[in-house]
Amino acid sequence: MEPQNFHMPLLGDDFPEITVQTTQGVLNLPKDLKGSWFVLFSHPADFTPVCTTEFVAFQDVAGEFEKLGVKLIGMSVDQVFSHIKWVEWIKEKLGVQITFPVAAANDAIANKLGMLHPGKGTNTVRAVFVVDPEGKVRLVLYYPQEIGRNIDEVLRAVKALQVSDKNGVAVPANWPNNRLIKDRVIIPPPKTVQDATERLKKYEGYDWWFCHKSL
- Residue 135's pLDDT is 96
211 is catalytic: no
pTM as predicted:
0.90
Length of the chain: 215
Active-site residue, from 51, 110, 127, 187: 51
Mean pLDDT for the chain overall: 91
- Residue 113's pLDDT is 79
Contact 114, 8 (CB under 8 A): yes
Q: Provide, rounded to the nearest whole percent, the portion of the chain with pLDDT above 70.
A: 93
Contact 116, 107 (CB under 8 A): yes
Sketch out the chain's domains with CATH numbers.
18-149 (3.40.30.10), 168-215 (3.30.1020.10)
Phi (first) and psi of residue 184, to 5 degrees: -80, 165
Name the amino acid, one letter, at 78: D
pLDDT tens, residue by residue, 71-115: 999 998 889 999 999 999 999 999 999 999 999 987 778 777 776
Angle at 205 between CA 203 and CA 210, to 5 degrees: 105
Q: Return the minimum-mean-pLDDT range out of 48-62, 109-123, 149-163.
A: 109-123
- Residue 124's pLDDT is 67
- Residue 146's pLDDT is 87
pLDDT tens, residue by residue, 191-209: 999 999 999 999 999 999 9
- Residue 28's pLDDT is 95
Give yes or no for residue 144 having a pLDDT over 90. Answer: no
Write b or e for each residue in 140-153: b if 16 or more Cβ atoms lie within 10 A of its Cβ, otherwise e.
bbebebeebbebee
Q: Is it true that the peptide bond before 30 is cis, omega within 30 degrees of 0?
A: yes
Give yes or no for residue 180 having a pLDDT over 80. Answer: yes
- Residue 138's pLDDT is 98
